[in-house]
Structure 1
Amino acid sequence: MPMITLDLSRALDADSRLAVVRAISDLTAELLGKKRELTALAISHAEHWSVGAEAVDDALTAFHLETRVTAGTNTKQEKARYQAAVWQALEALIGPLHPASYIVVSDLPADSWGYSGETQELRHVRAHLVS
């Protein structure tokens, strides 16, 4: 159950947006082991994007992607492979990419977030009480 936000320096057409959503959702499931049916992804674009106090021109796409996961559920190696694969996918789908674009995997404590009104910690405790 990750929550993913992707901020872009430009808007995407509907076909590109769908391709990006599918690619990132698939990579999140495959490389981070997250349930695809619980993966939420929001895409937005900034009207004004700059790097080094200079506007990013239309020749490159700059982005910031943040994937929030429950702390302790992924290894450093899994997160590194995920970042490399997401970069490659975005390069292929919406590139060329500005080199000062960022992919962040944020580890959040299980008691600090959840979905459907329940924390991840509560789900973990409940699962261990039942078994």
Structure 2
Amino acid sequence: MPMITLQLSRPLDADTRLAVTRAVTDLTAEVLGKKRELTALALSHVEHWSVGAEGVGGSLTAFHLDVRVTAGTNTRTEKSAYIYAVWQSLDELLGPLHPASYIIVTDIAADSWGYAGETQELRHVRARLAG
């Protein structure tokens, strides 16, 4: 975990797509402390993107990044640092960025999601019983 969805207002070439994927994955591991090997990222281009009912185009890139994590596993400070670091990284790789681009850290209850057929809550309980 976690699951990251990144939508962009413009398509990327293969090299930039790889650089963005690596940067976001690395920051998720480094700043939020998530396991890199379990971090999934879906990246897509949204053809019709608008802000204030006006199409986004020209030299600005708009984006929406949503990273879903288990509730209670990150502090406010970590989330704030993550949002800052991701913005800086995407600005470097894709900039200039449209100011109405969003990074959202979504906290999901441990009993409401999981992977490989098991909830995060079950994993947590199993680890506590084993430890």
TM-score bin, normalised by smaller chain: over 0.9
Q: Does 1:110 align with 2:118?
A: no
Give the aligned CA root-mean-square deviation in angstroms.
0.5
Partners of 1:21 and 1:47 in 2: CA distance: 20
Partners of 1:96 and 1:57 in 2: CA distance: 11
What is the aligned partner in structure 1 of residue 100 from structure 2? 100
Structure 2 residues without counterparts, runs of 5 or longer: none
TM-score, normalising length: structure 2? 0.99
Which AA in structure 1 matches 2:98?
Answer: H
What is the aligned partner in structure 2 of residue 6 from structure 1? 6
Secondary structure (helix, strand or coil) at the match of 1:48 reads: coil
Partners of 1:58 and 1:130 in 2: CA distance: 56
User: What is the CA distance between 1:129 and its match in structure 2?
Assistant: 1.1
What is the aligned partner in structure 2 of residue 80 from structure 1? 80
Q: Does 1:19 align with 2:23?
A: no
TM-score, normalising length: structure 1? 0.99
Aligned residues, how many?
131
Partners of 1:91 and 1:130 in 2: CA distance: 44
Secondary structure (helix, strand or coil) at the match of 1:47 reads: coil
Partners of 1:105 and 1:130 in 2: CA distance: 30
Which AA in structure 2 matches 1:92?
Answer: E
Secondary structure (helix, strand or coil) at the match of 1:21 reads: helix
User: What is the CA distance between 1:50 and its match in structure 2?
Assistant: 0.3
Partners of 2:42 and 2:93 in 1: CA distance: 17
